[in-house]
Amino acid sequence: MSSSHIFLRIIKKNHRQLLNLDGKLKKFKLELVKTSGDDQIPELGGKIQTIEDKLAMSSFIVIVFSTMALEAYIYDYAARHLTDTFVKDHLDGLDTFSKWIVVPELITGKRLSQPSNWQGALKRLLKARNSVIHHKSSEPPASFSDMRKYLEKLEANSASMFETAKQSIQLLHQLADKITEADPEEAPWVNSYLS
């Protein structure tokens, strides 16, 4: 039995949560800028940190589960049309991005249309997933200026993760549309995995 509908529910629930948390975060950051009393700063800072942590968790969940949904769908699509044995013997070694290029063309004889930037969005999602799953530790900064650069890099990485997570729903819908455009009979399957 496929877990695709569960993946999709997890993605949508956490996507809604991250959008909600982003709104709260903006509100608290605005309050922090407007605050005149030093006594409010620690309380607002604590709230901001809590929301940022929850936002990171939701972003990670959306990124990982969106990738799982895309991987599960493209494998299933290939196996249903080309046989499971063929996929295991000839396609399973391809990375996820390559499968999204090769599999639809093998099945339909057509490449997925490219007017929208689904390829760039898919690459960003896969890169973000790899960053989450294969996290690499780094040596602690030695100086204050190194610490500042390190923290700026962490903040930029968090912002990138959030943007990728936020756009993942669009990517799932985009790829569902692209597959359906190339293979209209696939609509019920693609919708159960990606829409």
Write down the pLDDT at residue 141: 67
| Nearest of 94, 80, 64, 61 to residue 179 by alpha carbon | 80
Average pLDDT score over residue span 27-49: 76
Average pLDDT score over residue span 172-187: 94
pLDDT tens sequence across 121-141: 999 999 999 988 886 666 666
User: 109: which 2 tokens?
Assistant: 């004889």
Average pLDDT score over residue span 40-67: 89
pLDDT tens sequence across 58-96: 999 999 999 999 999 999 999 999 999 999 999 999 999
Cα–Cα dist 55/7, whole Å: 19
Are 71 and 91 spatial neighbours (Cβ–Cβ below 8 Å)? no
Strand intervals (E) in the chain: none
Q: Which residue has the tokens 């063929």?
A: 86
Does pLDDT of 2 surpass 90? no
Whether the model clears a pTM of 0.75, i.e. scores above it, the answer is: yes
Does pLDDT of 182 surpass 50? yes
Does pLDDT of 152 surpass 90? no
Of residues 106 and 139, more confidently modeled: 106
Are 89 and 119 spatial neighbours (Cβ–Cβ below 8 Å)? no
Does pLDDT of 110 surpass 70? yes
Write down the pLDDT at residue 26: 87
Of residues 2 and 187, more confidently modeled: 187
Using alpha carbons, list the distances in angstroms from residue 113 to 65, 177, 183. 24, 10, 12
Q: For the chain, what is the mean pLDDT?
A: 88
